[in-house]
Amino acid sequence: MKKIITSKEVTLAIIAATIILFSNGCCTTITTASSNDFQIREPSFSALTPHSPISIGSDDDFITYGFPGSGNSTHPYIIENYNITTTNERGIYITGTHKYFLIRNCYVDAGIVGIYSEYVANGTTTIINNT
């Protein structure tokens, strides 16, 4: 004798299948790295030095601004720990350079773009941990 499947059984089967399909994602474990796994120091906002917008148009401007470093791959010029808040279009603008430079741990709030670089030599720019 053939069994007739009722709409009640079909509905229960659909509900069971839906529960099984969507329950796979509910038990996912997300593991985060502990603070001992890496060292990223975020300076407090009050620890940042207020600075006017930075505009560098040549390698010599790194020296004019007095940024530490020598501009080579092992000792890049370092722009760090600044609070640059401006209504100007750009907070940090770097163009036409061949020296190595690093921008890190800065807070930049500008009218359009916080950090903008163009026409710099390939591989000379490192930008990390900025807001």
Q: Where are the chain's structural domains?
A: 48-128
Residue 82: CA atoms inside 13 Å, Cβ hemisphere, count? 20
Place of tokens 């092992």: 74
- What DSSP character marks residue 26? T
Residues 21-57: pLDDT tens digits? 555 544 444 444 454 555 556 556 778 999 999 999 9
What is d(CA 31, CA 59) in angstroms, rounded to the nearest whole number? Answer: 44
pTM of the model: 0.66
pLDDT of residue 13 exceeding 90, the answer is no
